[in-house]
Amino acid sequence: MPTASVEQTVPGSAPDFDRCYRAVQARDARFDGQFFVTVRTTGIYCRPSCPAQTPRPHNVAFVLTAAAAQQQGYRACRRCAPDAVPGSPLWNVNADMSARAMRLIADGVVEREGVAGLAARLKYSPRHLNRVLTDHLGAGPLALARAHRATNARVLIQCTALPMSDVAFAAGFASIRQFNDTIRAVFGLTPTELRRLRHRRDRSQSDAVSAPGSVTLRLPFRAPYRWTWMRWFLSAHAATGVETVIDDADAPLGWRFRRVIALPHGPAIADIEPHDDHVGVVLSHLDMRDLGAAVNRVRRLLDLDADITAAEEVLAADPTLRPLIEGAPGLRVPGSLDPAETIIRTMLGQQVSLAAARHQIDRLVDALGRPLHDSGSTDGDVPKAFPTAAAIAADGRAVLRGPGRRIDAVIGVAEALAECRVEPHAGVDASDLRAQLIELPGIGPWTAAIVTMRVTGDPDVLLTNDLIVARAAADLGVDLRDTHHWAPWRSYATMHLWRHRLAGSGEAV
């Protein structure tokens, strides 16, 4: 059986034809989102698991992005909805400019800041960025962003009752004409015809139209997924008012997760319900311009785009780790919804217990969090967004308790974040972010490593300075100085070592 990772002779080049074609013949859903199939005889592009008859080899080609297929004149297959797939793990595994650009494009940076803003975040000129993306991915930043807008538009068309003019501008299009032309080019249908399809079975979304002011989504991922581990992590680190794990006997897995998400145009609430083969998400109080960013950030929080099979094949090759992998398949690396929040919360967790850290975080949220007064809460608990770096810099000293040196460090980092002297985001190179963080007073190697792992999605961070990881390694007789054979999946090895130690203490993980 093929592994679930696509080999490339050169980073960013077209995938190996024979390997991709075997995946298409097997209709292997693990490859959905890792590459797309263009079919010359029909003029469409598909996901590898498309249920249609497998085309002959001489009629197909393989591209890394939907935008590349669209640039070549192909339209999306209506049967398999190739835009409704997990994202490519290449954007986290690779650290090159193309991969980092794709993370930011998925977050809607081009719609908000233009190509110049995207280039500035990556610290390259727009001309060089366009050349590299075109060479590596078959499409420039505008075409890649156009594909992103088309997916957002399809979701809004099929999952809301918004007027088409509102859909167009919420999805990021500059005009109604641009919106209409793009939908026809990508899907081969007018927007109105695309909306009529919502009553048919749609593998990516709920069959029902969302309530006014909200969007109901169905987010795919590559199985397996160890939900007990993610539930433990979310519950153990939940900040009162910002997030909560809810026991729900009617939910498929017995629980849900509710979280306030800070977004570019204002906070929203995400109600997340895990399933065995997808994640149900209801986004409410959402400025529709933030749909793409909200979906992208939820996916990153839950690590839904991981190539988990490839990671576990490499780690299970080590006899010491094999029992851990076989005993808990599908462990994910929790990501970050907001880099500044992740940094502050991680700093408050340095050298203190989890309970002590949550106490400090709860104090910050209670005093400085922004309440969502129109949230519709009926139980007296008004949801709050985590306080901004600027709010913590201005008033955090009066709220935080503990050693003065630690408070000074947190306030100093909040000031640096508020003044943009350090700019953590999903598109920054992992080594650059780690170096920026280490330069800030009060941030040591442990904090820098875990923030880098969660913010950038780097799959190859080993938390050698973590006490739990060190104790787990000692239990197993693992030398953390000799783990090169785990690369590039050492972040997942870290999660398995964490879980091993926590499970030994009786935690349900």
Helix ranges restricted to H, 206-321: 227-236, 291-302, 308-316
- b/e 247-284 (16+ beta carbons within 10 angstroms → b): eeeeeeeebbbbbbbbbeeebbbbbbbbeeebbbbbbb
Q: How many CA atoms lie within 13 A of 188 on its CB side?
A: 13
Catalytic residue among 290, 429, 460, 466: 466
- Judge whether 77 counts as a catalytic residue: no
Catalytic residue among 46, 50, 80, 159: 46
- Judge whether 362 counts as a catalytic residue: no
Q: Do the beta carbons of residue 241 and residue 381 sit within 8 Å?
A: yes
Tell me which amino acid residue 164 is.
M
Q: Do the beta carbons of residue 309 and residue 457 sit within 8 Å?
A: no
- Considering just the CA atoms, what is the radius of gyration of the chain in Å? 22
Task: Report d(CA 64, CA 105) in Å as an integer.
Answer: 15
- Tokens 């895990």 label which residue? 274
3-state SS class at 295: helix
Where residue 108 falls (left for φ over 0; alpha for ψ -120 to 50; beta otherwise) is: left
Q: Where are the beta strands (DSSP E) in 19-96?
A: 36-39, 44-46, 60-63, 75-76
From residue 230, give the alpha-carbon distance in Å to each of 84, 110, 235, 258, 303: 23, 31, 8, 13, 10
- Residues 6 or more apart whose Cβ sits within 8 Å of residue 55: 37, 39, 41, 42
Calculate the dihedral angle through the C-alpha atoms of 465, 467, 469, 472, rounding to the nearest 10 degrees: 140
Number of CB atoms found within 10 A of residue 445's CB? 13
Which residues form the catalytic set? 46, 466
